[in-house]
Amino acid sequence: MEITAFLARKLTRRFRTYDTDGDGFIEREDFTQAGERATKAFGLAQDDPKAVRLRGMLAGLWEHLASVADLDRDGRISLDEYRTAFANGLLETPESFDEGYVPFLDAVMAIADEDGDGKLTVEEHARWTGALMGLSESDAHGIHDLLSDEDGLLSTQALLAAIREFYFSEDPAKAGNWLLGSLD
């Protein structure tokens, strides 16, 4: 995959959402803490099956990412290692992306979509993006407004399409490219 200047900006932004402690590296603990924050944000007990599933998905995501991106095997991933993993084919196609990402999104939606209708309210969206990725409430609200339907709800399908755009679209006008807020 060619890392264009635009994709590099998006990957840098995504890297920062993983690096929850801001130390310049992605580590297992960043994923563990994200799972704990999400569990707490939605008032789930530690042993709730939804919480256990999400934490398991986050652990698996870390393991996969570390196996392809932690080139020096020091237990942490730098921004350069993260970008290199993408250049080397971490996400080959939208289809291979779906294979890996849909189960994770399903686990997130099982927690965030409190009424189980397959759509997120602005409050649900802000709560999960804040807990898992550290997005500000104002960024989350703006993104939700950009992606939601006429009823102000964000469907699982629309969210998945936006996430695909984030990784695969070079068109700055596509809504998914602003999935994580400003790229600056």
Indicate the domain borders of the chain. Answer: 5-172
Inform me whether the pLDDT recorded for 170 exceeds 90.
yes
Determine the Cα–Cα distance for residues 180 and 137; give it in Å rounded to an integer.
11
pLDDT band at 109 (very low <50, low <70, confident <90, very high): very high
pLDDT digits 0-9 by tens, 110-167: 999 999 999 999 999 999 999 999 899 999 999 999 999 999 999 999 999 999 899 8
Instruction: List pLDDT tens digits, range 32-69.
Output: 999 999 999 999 999 999 999 999 999 998 998 899 89
The whole-number pLDDT of residue 85 equals 87
pLDDT at 181: 87
CA–CA gap between residue 62 and residue 56 (Å, rounded)? 10
Residue 98 has a pLDDT of 79
* The domain over range 5-172 is classified in CATH as 1.10.238.10: yes
Q: How confident is the model over 101-114, as a mean pLDDT?
A: 92
> Which residue in the block uniquely carries the two structure tokens 């990957």?
11
pLDDT for 77: 97
Please list the alpha-helical segments (H only) found in the chain: 5-18, 28-41, 49-69, 79-87, 94-112, 122-133, 137-147, 156-168
Pair 170, 11: CB distance under 8 Å: no
The pLDDT of residue 146: 92
Q: pLDDT tier at 91 (50, 70, 90 boundaries)? A: low
State the pTM of this model. 0.89
Q: What whole-number distance in Å separates Cα of residue 73 and Cα of residue 75? A: 6
Q: What is the tens place of the pLDDT at every residue in 60-69?
A: 989 988 998 9
